[in-house]
Chains A and B, each alone.
Chain A
Amino acid sequence: DQQVKQNSPSLSVQEGRISILNCDYTNSMFDYFLWYKKYPAEGPTFLISISSIKDKNEDGRFTVFLNKSAKHLSLHIVPSQPGDSAVYFCAASPNYGGATNKLIFGTGTLLAVQP
């Protein structure tokens, strides 16, 4: 049972345009959401997060939107750059903070930014 779903395995975008990566979840107990980026032969690196008390969080070119009623979140990258080409994982946690939280990851979306 996939609790966190990324239905688009890949996305191709032109440099300078907006990239929108989507994620859906099924467990209403999730209250903290994160995006990780992964380059080949490297471990995932944290990108941006949002707690369920917010509907938007912005960090430079990256913005995450959360729609709790739809159990949907999205990551917007504006403007997209070739260096953004990577696999992006959406992840969810059932509690904010604490020593025992674990992350539930989606299957990832491969973003390719064309020069």
Chain B
Amino acid sequence: DAGVTQSPTHLIKTRGQQVTLRCSPKSGHDTVSWYQQALGQGPQFIFQYYEEEERQRGNFPDRFSGHQFPNYSSELNVNALLLGDSALYLCASSKNVLNTGELFFGEGSRLTVL
């Protein structure tokens, strides 16, 4: 049973560029959340997708956008990259009906912006 998978694992971009990160949820899960973890900090909630719609959003600018596909996989897009966007981006999935906050996390995509 595959867990949450994310790609790519590492990437380097320059300021102003755009990036797309991908996530496949754990089998049987239909809800995907994205978190940003800066160095030395805890994960911060970006947004959550369920039934292909953004259901909740954290305190992130519109440069951060996402999408959920019919197979429940998800993408996180960040436009006009800033140095401060350098972080580990974590995808987490859950089964909506049984969701009690016990999220299953992927290993993350580490983004470095130069």
Pairs of residues from A and B, 3 with the lowest C-beta to C-beta distance, nearest first: A43-B105, A105-B42, A102-B45
Q: How many residues of A contact B (CB 8 A)?
A: 28
- CB neighbours of B33 from chain A (8 A): 102
Contact-size category for B: 20 to 34
Judge if B87 is at the interface, Cβ distance under 8 Å.
no
Docked-complex contact B107 and A104, CB < 8 angstroms: no
Instruction: Determine which residue in A34, A44, A46, A49 has the highest number of CB atoms from chain B within 10 A of its CB, and name it.
Output: A44
5 contacts between A and B (CB under 8 A): A36-B105, A96-B101, A103-B43, A103-B103, A105-B42
Distance in angstroms from B45 CB to nearest chain A CB is 4
Cross-chain contact of A34 among B101, B105, B107 (Cβ < 8 A): B101
Known contacts A89-B43, A107-B40; is-contact A101 B107 (Cβ 8 Å): no
Give B76 Cβ to nearest chain A Cβ, in Å.
Answer: 15
Contact (A100, B48) CB under 8 Å given A32-B101, A34-B102, A46-B102: yes
Min distance, Cβ A2 to any Cβ of chain B, angstroms:
9
Closest to B50 in A: A99
The A-B contact count (CB < 8 A) is: 69
Chain A interface mostly:
loop
Whether A99 contacts B96 by the Cβ 8 Å rule is yes
Residue on B nearest A89 in the bound complex, by CB? B42
The answer to the question of A42 belonging to the interface, with a C-beta cut-off of 8 Å to chain B, is: yes
Proximity bits, B12-49, A CB within 8 Å = 1, else 0: 00000000000000000001010100001111110010
Q: B103 — which chain A residues lie within 8 A by C-beta?
A: 46, 103
A60 within 8 A of B: no
